[in-house]
Structure 1
Amino acid sequence: MLSSSMMVWLRSFDAAARHGNFTRAAAELCVSQGAISQQVKSLENALRRPLFIRGPRSLTLTPEGERLYAVARDAFRALDATLIQLRRTEDRHDVSLSCSPSFAMGWLIPKLNNFFRQHATIHLKIHGEFHGLDRSRLVREGLDAAVRYDLGRYTDLEARKFLDEWLLPVASPEFIKEHPELISPSDLRPEWLLHDSSPWEGASEFEEWEYWLEQVGVSSPDLASGRHFNLSQLAQAGAVNGQGVAMGRAALVLDDLMSGRLVDLFGICVPSGAGYFFVTEGSVQGPLASVEAWLCGEAKAYLDIVKRVLPYLR
């Protein structure tokens, strides 16, 4: 039964079962939601039995679907692992690293000269993106590893935290001068707030502001009236240009604080629930291990600096 059509149907079924949703499966495989739905339907017709119970917003595997998914999942993982081994050679020195744009531009890129001085034979390629990750996506796009700011909860990948993060509201000196009434967190107005609406995959639209306000004991105002961006760096740029108060991440705003472009409003840093993770398919070795070790070393050096700039860190 393993015709070319059946293999396509099984790949669509595997993605839909993993995500519990046709839309997210379609995004992973770069096809339309309708195509995924039709391919799964074709598989069900070929097997003459349903594989999903279709709800209004989610999919639930039937017992037969559970049985098939368990086998398909293991088979595709085995194929992926074998393809990876065949594609790589021991003398390869290219490393492709997926990295969220804000972290890449605000923290990583300024430090890359150090990396290339220490590892002249490693060709490190940076891919700026913030898409969700799973094993099949790393393999499909030829990525060796990724750096993500999130909670580190991956079901089929290894995620090792190399850098903690702290949250602190920041604004420009001009904005502070225009709003002398802004003295304590309770003085914040919703319309002043600048939001990174997608700080990590699965986070809520107001995740970081809500978390920080809760930690400092201030009730959350109507946050929807603030300004919204899809990158932390964009919200930070808005703050530099006097457009409001951004929830700064220490790793990204440190240079702006040191230069005076931004001001730490209240002297209150809260440890973030998220951190920076080095994400791979499994254990690392060779050039990839060198990249991870370098990141850990740079993170340690950065922490020494941030503790001097923000000595009150808790």
Structure 2
Amino acid sequence: MLSTSLLTWLRAFDAAARHNSFTLAAEELHVTQGAISQQVKHLEDWLGTPLFQRGRRQLVLLPPGLRLKLAVMESFQILEQTVTAMRPPARRPVLRLNCSPSFAMQWITPRIGEVLAANPDLSLRVFGEFHALNRSRMTQEHIEAAVRFDMGGYEDVRALSFLDEWLLPVASPEFLADHPEIRAPRDIPVGLMLHDELPWDSARDHEEWNRWLSLAGVPLPKVHTGQHFNLSLLAVNAAISGQGIAIGRMAIVMDALLSGRLLPVLPLAVSAGASYHYVCLDDDNPGVVAVEHWLKQESQRFRRQRQDWFRRNKVVQRKTQPPAARAAA
């Protein structure tokens, strides 16, 4: 018989194996990274064999770990299907929208009442997650629809790019008042740059700041010494509290800009390269179709609002390096 401890260790291993990360597994299970690491270590000691090769940025499953991952995944799937079948049917079908956390909090949830009002038979539940998606993962985890901020390239699922993104350095009014010397991109102190450590799955280190600096035509820092966060919204909140300058995605910072809690540090926005994608397995689910229609409408309204804000604040939009910077390079 499986002990309670062993079941706990297996659950921790399952999450770590799916995410290839103790950090993301801890977020999923609402425990600390140390707890996940310790539980997996207990399991390895109990089995008498290592399951992961531990790298600096990612875990890699060893052959015993891969074998166990498949067995655990299948077992949990059978268990979930069995207990789900035993529950009485819900009064209304529930659509689970799996969404990038910062976008879910700042863009989806403030607007969600509109799609529910227009579709009274729709029960929508939003879950904040940002791991990469494919057909196998969506099928195994019963993800019917999702929103991801990334570079796209989906091959085996239906994916619609419904909203592009622009990056703008932002800070609090108090911070800018204390730093009048910042008048050009080269004036921004490296140590005061606030970073989203992983804008999307497999993004390069310091992706967004480096992109903005490159398109602004200035050299990249040799070392980024500013604070790092695992969510864009955390970096933005740090900027609101006066801790530095965040690279704001307009979908995340628009409300703070409109309310005056944040201000543009410099009037230059650059294209993010990545965009928001609506990802689903099929389009024959009425709830999936309703959410897609709503996202298209809302993104059109948001783009108009964003362009109006850029125009009123005389913000330059740039997609490529300026000619002078290219010539220097």
TM-score between the two structures when normalised by the length of structure 2: 0.69
The corresponding residue for 1:283 is: 282
The corresponding residue for 1:189 is: 189
Q: CA RMSD in A?
A: 4.6
The corresponding residue for 1:295 is: 295
The corresponding residue for 1:68 is: none
C-alpha separation in 2, matches of 1:236 and 1:56: 31
TM-superposition CA deviations, 1:283-304 (whole Å, max 9, x none): 3141111111101110001111
The corresponding residue for 1:274 is: 274
The corresponding residue for 1:224 is: 224
Distance 1:116 1:181, change over 3 A: same
C-alpha separation in 1, matches of 2:130 and 2:155: 16
- Further displaced range: 114-123 or 220-229: 220-229
Which runs of 5 or more residues in structure 1 are unaligned? 1-17, 37-53, 61-78
C-alpha separation in 1, matches of 2:204 and 2:179: 29
Superposition deviation, residue 92 in structure 1: 6.0
C-alpha separation in 1, matches of 2:19 and 2:111: 36
The corresponding residue for 2:15 is: none
TM-superposition CA deviations, 1:162-211 (whole Å, max 9, x none): 11000010011100110110111100111111111111111123110011
TM-superposition CA deviations, 1:107-126 (whole Å, max 9, x none): 11111111111111100111
2:210 aligned with 1:210, yes or no?
yes
C-alpha separation in 2, matches of 1:298 and 1:224: 36
Contact 1:189–1:221 under 8 Å retained in 2: no
The corresponding residue for 1:39 is: none
Superposition deviation, residue 159 in structure 1: 2.0
C-alpha separation in 2, matches of 1:264 and 1:56: 40
The corresponding residue for 1:139 is: 140
Secondary structure at the counterpart of residue 120 of structure 2: coil
Distance 1:189 1:157, change over 3 A: same
Distance 1:20 1:166, change over 3 A: closer
Which runs of 5 or more residues in structure 2 are unaligned? 1-17, 29-35, 41-51, 62-77, 320-329
Q: Report 1:54-203 matches (<5 A).
A: 93-127=93-127, 129-134=128-133, 135-140=136-141, 142-203=142-203
Secondary structure at the counterpart of residue 210 of structure 2: helix
Percent identity between matched residues is 38
Contact 2:92–2:121 under 8 Å retained in 1: no
C-alpha separation in 2, matches of 1:243 and 1:171: 8
Contact 2:149–2:276 under 8 Å retained in 1: yes
C-alpha separation in 2, matches of 1:105 and 1:93: 23
Distance 1:256 1:138, change over 3 A: farther
Structure 1 stretches of 4+ moved >4 Å: 18-21, 54-60
Distance 1:55 1:236, change over 3 A: closer
TM-superposition CA deviations, 1:31-75 (whole Å, max 9, x none): x99x99xxxxxxxxxxxxxxxxx9997989xxxxxxxxxxxxxxx
C-alpha separation in 2, matches of 1:292 and 1:257: 27
Secondary structure at the counterpart of residue 238 of structure 2: helix
Give the counterpart letter for 2:261 in structure 1: R
Distance 1:162 1:219, change over 3 A: same
Q: Report 1:238-249 matches (<5 A).
A: 238-249=238-249
C-alpha separation in 2, matches of 1:223 and 1:182: 20
Contact 2:138–2:144 under 8 Å retained in 1: no
Give the counterpart letter for 1:211 in structure 2: R
C-alpha separation in 2, matches of 1:19 and 1:101: 16
Distance 1:175 1:20, change over 3 A: closer
Distance 1:219 1:93, change over 3 A: same
The corresponding residue for 2:263 is: 263
C-alpha separation in 2, matches of 1:196 and 1:251: 15
C-alpha separation in 1, matches of 2:175 and 2:118: 42
Distance 1:257 1:204, change over 3 A: same
C-alpha separation in 1, matches of 2:231 and 2:296: 24
C-alpha separation in 1, matches of 2:287 and 2:228: 39
TM-score between the two structures when normalised by the length of structure 1: 0.72
Give the counterpart letter for 1:234 in structure 2: L
